[in-house]
Amino acid sequence: MSSQLGQLRLISSVALRNLWLDRFRTTIIGALIAFGAFLAVIGLSLLNDVRASMRASITQSVAGDLQIYSANAKDSLTLFGGGGFMGRADIGNLPDFAPYRDEILRHPNVAAFVPMGLDMAVLARGNELDDSLDALRSAIKGKDSAIIAGRVEQVRFQLEQVGLELTARRQLSADQAELEQQERDLKVAAAPEFLQDVSKIGEEKLQFLETRIAPLSGEKLPTYIQYFGTDIAAYLANFPKFHLIEGTLLGPGERGIMLSRKVRDEQLKNSVAKIFDKIHKRLTKRNQSIAGDDECRRFASDLKKQYQQILSYLDRADAEELSRKLTDLGIAAVGGDELVQRLSHQLTMFLTVDDSNFEQRYSWFYANIAPKIRLYEVSPGQTITVRSYTRSGYIKTLPLKVYGIYNFDGLEDSDLAGVLSIMDLVSFRELYGQMTEASRRELDVMRAQVGIKDVSAENAETDLFGSERPATTVAANDKKEAAEPLSVKPRLADQFDPQEVQRGLALNAAIKLKDSGKEERTQQELLAALENRGLKANIVGWQKASGIVGQLVNIVGGTLLFALAIIFLVAFVIVNNSIIVGTLNRTREIGTMRAIGAQRSFIVNLFLAETGITGFFGAISGTALAVLVIILAGRLGIPAGNDIVTFIFSGPRLYPRVHWTVVTTAPILITIVATLASVYAARHAAKIQPADATQEKE
C-alpha cells in the first residue's frame, strides 16, 4: 500500500475509532444529520410530486401547456381566480384565430390547438310565484283548460303559503302600512272568486298577481356563471381531466352549456338539500358533531327556517302525502287542520336536527322529499337564459340548453378549478358581443337618419348656442298613427355549422405539446414563427397563465426550501459546536500528533473525516427512513385538508412517489455539506499547539 493510501487508512481508522470512543456525541450529531436528511428527502420528493400534480390539475383541465392571446391585452391572462374588473380581465381578442392555429400546428412539438375564451354572465332567477304565474300565463295562451286549471291550483296553493308568511312578518316588519296593503292585496287574490272562472282570467288579473303578489314571495339573487367557450370536439379530445357526471356531452355543431357540478350544487340546489349536504359533509369528513361545532350549529339553525323551500315546490296532493308520511315518522302536527299550516309546522320540526336524529333525517329527506321537489333549479335537458353585458355595450340575453353536468377529475371539491362551466364557441361569441363592422355601419346609419351632429365638450356652447335658429319651435299637430310592429331579430339557432368554430373570434387558445419538457424552448420558437408571419401575440406558459394559482407551487416550494435552510443552519451550528467541544477533550492527543510531525492539514483532514463519516451514515439512514415513510404514505395517500390543498394535490389525496434522483443526490449533498460545515471547527482544532501535548488530561 502506498503512503497516500496508508495515510488515508490511518485517518479513517483514527477517525472511526474516535467516533466509536465518543459514541454519545457521534450519535447526536449523526441523528441530527439524519433528521435533516429525512426532512430534505421527504420535502424535495413531495415538492416534485406536488409540482407534477399541480401541473396535471392545471394543464389537463383548462390551460394546456401554453396559452396564446392577443398582443393588445391590457391585463394578463388568468385562467383561474379571475382577474380584472368583476372577474373579467381585458385580454383583448384574436379576431380570427385560424392563421395562428395553422402556424402553430406546424411546429413539431405541438400536439393540439384549442381555441377558447373566458367570460362571465348572469343567470336570472325569479321566485317560485313568478315561475308559477309565468306557467299560468303560458297555459292561458295555450288555451288548454285542464292545464290552466292545474296551474291555477298551484298558484292558489302558493298563495296560502304567502299568507302564512305575511302573518309571520307582521311581527317583524316595521312598515305596518305597507304590510297592511300587502295583506289586502293578498286577500283579493286569494279570494275564491278571483281565479274561479278560468276563462275570465285576463290581463288585468294576471298583472295584479304579477305586480302586487309575486314580490311577496321574496327575491332571488342573481347567479353569476363563469364559463369558457371552446371548440368542444377539440377540447374533449385534449383535456383528460374533464369528466361528465350527468346528462350528455355537448356535440360538435350544437349550441349549449355543460354546467360545473360545484356551481350547480352550491348555487342552484334547493337550499334545504344544500344545508343538509353541508352538515353531512362536516360531520363525516371532519368528524364533527352538531353540538360541538359552531359551523354545524349555524347550519342547523338555518335549516329549520327553510321549510318554505320544500313547501313551495309541492302541489296539494304531494303536500297531503308528505304530511301523512311525516306523521307516520312520528312528527305529528300541533293543532290546526289546515294543510299549509300543519305541514309548515311539521316541516319545521323535521328540519330541527341534532346529533341524535341527523343521519336518519338526512336519508329520509333524500328518500321521501327530494324526489317531489325541484331539487336542482337547473338540470340537463333544460334550457337556461343567461344575460351578459357585452363588449359592444348592449345587453345580450341568450338561451342555452344544459346538456350535462361535469367536473374535473380529482378537483371535485376545488373552488378554484370547479367553477367554470363550458359552452360552445358560437354561443360564447354571441355573449361576448364583439361590435362587428355591420353593427357599426348600422349605428352610423341611425345617426345619419336622426341628423345629430357631433359636438365636443369644449366647443359645445358655441356649436349649440351660436347659430341663428330659434331655440323653441312649435310642434306640428300630427295625427296619431299606429306604430308599426317591430321586426325582431330571430334568436340564435340551436345548431351551427361546425366549420364556424374552425376560425373566427376567440380570446385565447390552449396549446398542447407532445414533449412538455421543452415548454420554454417551444414557446420561444412559436413566438418567432408567428413573428415571421407578421402575427403578433402573447404566448405564456401554463404557470403564468394561471395567475396566483400557478404560483402556488412556487410559493409552496419556496417556503419548503426556506424551512429546510433554517433547519440546516441550526444543524450546522450544533454540529460545529459539538466538534469544538470535542476538540477540548482531545487537546493532548492533537498536540501530540502535531508534536511528532503532523501538519495542520492532517488534523483538519482527520476531523473532516470524522464528520464526513458521521454525516454519510446519518444521511444514509435519514434517507432510508424517508424512503420508507414515502412508500408508506404512497400506499395510504395524504388527505387534502382544504380546497387549496385539493387543487395542489390534484385530488382528495396525494400519493407520494419515491424520486430516485432526490434519493441519490440528497445524501451525497448532505454529506458534503456536513463535512464542509465542520471545516471551521476542524481548523480550530488544528490550531492546537504541539506544546499542548504536555497538558494534563482533564
Q: Which residues, 559 to 588, sit near other proteins by CB under 8 A? A: 588
* Smaller CB separation from other proteins, 495 or 689: 689
CA distance 88 to 101: 25
Question: What is the three-class DSSP state of 538?
Answer: strand
Q: Is 335 in the site for other proteins (CB under 8 A)?
A: no
Contact 612, 575 (CB under 8 A): no
- Give the nearer residue to other proteins in terms of CB position, either 174 or 475: 475
Packing angle between helix 98-105 and helix 519-532, nearest 10 degrees?
120
User: Are 276 and 306 spatial neighbours (Cβ–Cβ below 8 Å)?
Assistant: no
17 binds other proteins (CB under 8 A): yes
State the nearest-atom distance from the C-beta of 401 to other proteins, in Å: 12
Q: Which is nearer to other proteins, 19 or 310 (CB)?
A: 19
Taking the CB of residue 629, how many other CB atoms lie within 10 A of it? 15
CB 239 within 8 A of CB 62: yes
- Site for other proteins contains 174 (CB under 8 A): no
Q: Is 73 in the site for other proteins (CB under 8 A)?
A: no
Paired with 113 in beta bridges are 511
Least Cβ distance, residue 442 to other proteins (angstroms): 5
First to last CA, the chain: 37
Please give the residues from 481 up to 500 whose contact with other proteins meets the rule CB under 8 A: 483, 485-491
Asked whether position 10 contacts other proteins by CB under 8 A, the answer is yes
Total of chain residues touching other proteins, rule CB under 8 A:
89
Q: Map 499-541 to HEC letters.
A: HHHHCCCECEEEEEECCHHHHHHHHHHHHHHHHHCCCCEEEEE
Q: Which stretch binds other proteins (CB under 8 A): 26-34, 303-311, 327-335, 478-486?
A: 478-486
Minimum gap (Å) between residue 479 Cβ and other proteins: 10
The nearest distance, CB 211 to other proteins, in angstroms, is 5
Q: For the stretch 347-364, what's the b/e string if a residue is b when 16 or more beta carbons lie within 10 angstroms of its beta carbon?
A: bebbbebeeeebeebbeb
Which cell numbers in the block locate residue 385? 337564459
- In three-state secondary structure terms, 403 is strand
Site string (21-60) toward other proteins, x via CB under 8 A: x---------------------------------------
Q: Is 689 in the site for other proteins (CB under 8 A)?
A: yes
| Secondary element (H or E) of residue 187 | helix 176-190
CA-to-CA dists, residue 697 to 504, 539, 588, 683, angstroms: 90, 72, 7, 21
- From candidates 174, 177, 448, 457, binder to other proteins by CB under 8 A: 457
Interacting span for other proteins (CB under 8 A) from 286-294, 358-366, 385-393, 411-419: 385-393
| Contacting residue, 172, 478, 532, 635, with other proteins by CB under 8 A | 478
Task: Map grid coordinates 471545516 to a residue.
Answer: 679
213 to 252, contacts with other proteins by CB under 8 A? 214-215, 219
User: Binding to other proteins by residue 4, rule CB under 8 A?
Assistant: yes
CA geometry: angle 242, 248, 254, nearest 5 deg: 95
Q: Which of 191, 455, 566, 569 binds other proteins (CB under 8 A)?
A: 455
Q: How far apart are CA 317 and CA 608, in angstroms?
A: 89
Residue 137 near other proteins by CB under 8 A: yes
Positions in 593-652 near other proteins (CB under 8 A): 593-600, 602
Closer CB to other proteins, 337 or 468, in the complex: 468
70, containing H or E segment: strand 66-70
Which grid coordinates are listed for 528? 418567432
Is position 371 an interface residue for other proteins (rule: CB under 8 A)? no
Angle between helices 679-686 and 600-636 (to 10 degrees): 160
Q: How far is the CB of 53 from other proteins (least distance, A)?
A: 40
The yes or no reply on residue 397 touching other proteins (CB under 8 A) is: yes
CB 48 within 8 A of CB 660: no
Q: What is the helix (H) or strand (E) element at residue 223, kind and residue range?
A: strand 223-230
Q: If binding is defined by CB under 8 A, does position 173 make contact with other proteins?
A: no
State the nearest-atom distance from the C-beta of 27 to other proteins, in Å: 18
The one segment of 97-105, 296-304, 464-472, 671-679 that binds other proteins by CB under 8 A = 464-472
5-13, 371-379, 409-417, 670-678 -> range binding other proteins (CB under 8 A): 5-13
